A and B are shown apart, each in its own frame.
Chain A
C-alpha cells in the first residue's frame, strides 16, 4: 500500500471489494459523493448506488428499508449530519427495528477544519453510544479501516463508523487482523496507558509516547477503534499494569471514549485517570493544525497531561 494514502480511497476500494463478493452491498449518499470519493463505486455498480440528494434523514430511512430485505447498506454523510441530523431515523428505523444499517460519518471533529463550527462533530460517538446494541467505530489508518469495514459488513446489526477522509500515515502492517470490540496495543509500557481512537488522536498518542520516552516514561499506547462495545478486559488489564490511564479523543470528553473508559474503571478497578478531548465547547473554523492546537489535541498536550497525572500516582 502506498504510504499516506487517502482514507476515503480506502473506503471506496473496500466497498468495491465487498460488493464484488456480495451482491447485497449497496451504497447510499446524500449529495456528498464527490467529497466521500464513492463516485468510483457508482461507476462500477451504478444500480447499487443511491444518491438521495441533500436529504440525510431520508437516506437513513431508505437504508433501513433496504436492509429489511437483506441488503447491506453503507450510508454516508458528514459526521455532523450523520449524528445530529438523522439520529431519530437511525435510532428508530435502523436500530430499534433491529435492522442492519452501516452509517458512516466523515470529517470527525477538528478534521472538519474549513467547514467550521456547524460541521464539526464533537458529539457523534457519544450519542451513538447511547443507542442500544449499536456498534460504534473509528479507524486510525488504512489497514484498520479496511478490516473494520469488512468486519462490519459481516456483522449483523447497525454500526456507526467515523471516517477520516484525508491521507494518514499507516499504523498497521497489511496483514494485521482486527475484531470489533477488541482494542489494539500499539506499544507496551508500564508507567501509564494512553488510550486513543481515530486517525488524529492515535497518531498524536504515538507522538506523545516518543516524547515521554525521552523523559524515561514508558507509556503503553492502545488504539481503541471500537468504543462500543468497549474492550473491558483490555482496559482492566492495563489499569492493573500501569495504574494510570489517559484517554485522548477528537470529541467531547463527555460520553465519548473518556467516559466509556471511566465507566469500566470506576465499576471494576478504580484507577487514576484523566480525559483529554473537547471540554464543553463548540467547534470553530480553521486549519486542522490550528484547531488541534486550539483544542489541545496534540502529542505535546498528551505528554504534558501524562506527566501531570504521573505526579499524582503513588
Chain B
C-alpha cells in the first residue's frame, strides 16, 4: 500500500509538473491549458509510480505505453518527459514554435517517449487496442494506458473501441476518462451529454471505477485494482476540474484554449509555490 510519504512526494511532483506546463504554455502565450491541467495528477501517478519506462531507451519493447487520445494535452506529458530526462528541459520553451519537437498535439515521431500520434479525437482508443493486442501476441506482459476526454467521448469511434476492447478481453488496457465536465463549446451536459457514463462503460463490458482525478490515493488504488483485473479492459472515470490549479483558467468556460502572457503564467506559478 502507498505510504503517506509517497503520497506527499507524488503530490509535490504533480505541482512541479503543473508549474512546468503553465510555464511552457505561457512562454508561447497560447495553448490548451484547461485539458492539460485536468490530467496532471493522472499523468504524475502513471509516470512516477506505475509505468515502466526508460528515458535512455524510450522504445524499449516491454515498456508500459500511454496513448493520450485527447492529443491536445501533449504539453502536460512533455513536462513529465522533460523532468524524466527523455529530452533536455529547455525544449519546453520551444513548444509549438516552428521546427519544434514538441508540437501542440502528441507526435510519436517527434518526441522521445511519446508512444502514439494523436490529435484527431476518438482515434487513440483504437490505436491503444492495437498496441494491447500486439503485446498479447508477442507475450509482452506490460500495460497500455489510455486517456480520453469527456467531450471526446462524443465520437462514435470511442464506442467502437469500447466494444472491441471488451470483445478481445483486453485486461492489459487501462483507460481513463478525464471527466472535467467541459468540452470546447461549454459544459458537456449542455453540448452533448455523455451520462450515464458509468453505466455506459459497464454495459460495454469494462471494469469501471470512479475516482477523484486529483486525489493521488484514489488514483493509485484504482490503478492497482485495474492491474489485477484478469478478463476485462479497465475504465477509470476520473472526476476532474478543467484548468485545475491554474487560477485564471480553473473552471473558466473559455479555458479550452487560452491566450495569456508570460507574466500571468508566472503569477499562476507563484500561487502554486
Which of A's residues lie within 8 Å of B, judged by CB? 29, 31-35, 51-55, 57-58, 80-81, 84-85, 114-119, 284-287, 290-291, 294
Q: With A31-B192, A53-B191, A291-B98 as given contacts, are A80 and B156 in contact (CB-CB < 8 Å)?
A: no
Q: Are B156 and A58 in contact (CB under 8 A)?
A: yes
Q: Kindly identify which residue among A31, A118, A287 contacts B184, using a CB–CB cutoff of 8 Å.
A: A31
A78 nearest in chain B by CB position: B120
Given the complex of chains A and B, what is the CA–CA distance between A52 and B120 in angstroms?
16
For the complex with contacts A55-B154, A117-B105, A119-B119, 9 further pairs of A-B residues with Cβ separation under 8 Å are A31-B191, A54-B121, A55-B155, A115-B105, A116-B104, A118-B118, A285-B96, A286-B98, A290-B98
User: CA of A32 to CA of B191 in the docked complex: distance in angstroms?
Assistant: 11
What's the minimum C-beta distance from A269 to chain B, rounded to whole angstroms?
40
Residues of B within 8 A of A294 (CB): 98
Q: List 8 A-B contacts (CB under 8 A).
A: A31-B191, A32-B184, A34-B256, A57-B156, A115-B104, A116-B107, A285-B96, A285-B100
Residues of B within 8 A of A85 (CB): 120
- Give the docked Cα–Cα distance between A171 and B120 (Å): 34
- Enumerate chain B residues within 8 angstroms of A34, measured Cβ to Cβ: 184-185, 254, 256
From known contacts A31-B191, A34-B184, A52-B192, infer whether A285 and B98 are also in contact, taking CB-CB under 8 Å. Answer: yes
Residues in A neighbouring B105, C-beta threshold 8 A: 115-119
B16 interface residue, CB < 8 Å from A?
A: no
Q: B103 contacts which chain A residues (CB < 8 A)?
A: 116-117, 284-285
From B30, B96, B122, B254, contact of A116 by CB (8 A): B96
**Which single residue of chain A is at the shortest CB-CB distance from B71?**
A118
List chain B residues, Cβ under 8 A from A117.
Answer: 103, 105, 107, 119
Residues of chain A within 8 A of B120, CB atoms compared: 80-81, 84-85, 118
Q: Which of B88-127 contact A (CB under 8 A)?
A: 96-100, 103-105, 107, 117-122
Interface size on B, residues (CB 8 A): 30
Contact check: which of B71, B99, B151 meets A31 at CB < 8 Å?
B151
Contact between A55 and B96, CB atoms less than 8 A apart: no
Residues of chain A within 8 A of B192, CB atoms compared: 31, 51-55
B152 within 8 A of A: yes
Does B183 lie at the interface of the complex (its beta carbon under 8 Å from any beta carbon of A)?
Answer: yes
Query: Quick one: closest B residue to A58, CB to CB?
Result: B156
Residues from chain B with a CB closer than 8 A to the CB of A114 are: 30-31, 96, 104
Given contacts A55-B155, A286-B98, is CB(A118)–CB(B119) below 8 Å?
yes
Fill in one digit per residue for B29-65: 1 if any A CB lies within 8 Å of its CB, else 0. Answer: 0110000000000000000000000000000000000
Q: Which residues from chain B sit less than 8 Å from chain A, CB to CB?
A: 30-31, 71, 96-100, 103-105, 107, 117-122, 151-152, 154-156, 183-185, 191-192, 254, 256
The residues of B that contact A291 with a CB separation of less than 8 Å are 98
A54–B152 touching, CB < 8 Å: yes
CB pair B98 A287 closer than 8 Å: yes
B185–A285 contact, CB under 8 A?
A: no
Nearest CB in chain B: distance from A137 CB, A: 24
What distance in Å separates the Cβ of B195 from its nearest Cβ neighbour in chain A?
13
- In the complex, the answer to whether B96 meets A53 with C-beta atoms within 8 Å is no
Give the complex CA separation of A106 and B46 in angstroms: 36
**A54 near B122 (CB under 8 angstroms)?**
yes
Q: How far is the CB of B42 from chain A (nearest CB, A)?
A: 20
- On whether the beta carbons of B107 and A55 are closer than 8 Å, the reply is no
What residue of chain B has the Cβ atom nearest to residue A29's Cβ? B185
Across-interface contacts of A29 in B (CB, < 8 A): 185
A286–B30 alpha-carbon span in the complex (Å): 12
Contacts of A287 in B (CB 8 A): 97-98
In angstroms, Cα B96 to Cα A115, docked, is: 8
Please, which residue of chain B has its CB at the minimum distance from the CB of A35?
A: B184
B255 to chain A, nearest CB (A): 11
State whether A54 touches B155 (Cβ < 8 A).
yes
Q: Is the CB of A54 within 8 A of B98?
A: no
The smallest C-beta distance from B262 to any residue of chain A, in angstroms, reads 16
Q: A114-B30, A118-B105, A285-B104 are in contact. Are A54 and B154 (CB under 8 A)?
A: yes
Min C-beta distance of B92 to chain A, whole Å? 15
Contact B104 A54 (CB under 8 A): no
The 9 closest A-B pairs by CB, nearest first: A53-B192, A118-B119, A286-B98, A290-B98, A53-B154, A285-B103, A54-B154, A116-B103, A55-B154
- Contact between chains at A53 and B100 (CB < 8 Å): no
Cross-chain contact A55 with B156 (CB below 8 angstroms): yes
Contacts A52-B192, A118-B117, A285-B98; is A31 near B104 (CB within 8 Å)? no
CB pair A286 B183 closer than 8 Å: no
User: Do residues B183 and A53 form an inter-chain contact, with CB atoms below 8 A?
Assistant: yes
Expressed in whole angstroms, the minimum distance between the Cβ of A53 and any Cβ of chain B is 3
With both chains docked as a complex, state the minimum distance between the C-beta of A47 and any C-beta of chain B, in angstroms: 16
Measured CA separation A33–B254 after assembly (Å): 12
Contact B97 A286, beta carbon cutoff 8 Å: yes
**Chain B residues positioned under 8 Å from A119 (CB to CB):** 105, 119
B29 to chain A, nearest CB (A): 10
Q: Identify the closest chain A residue to B122 (Cβ).
A: A54
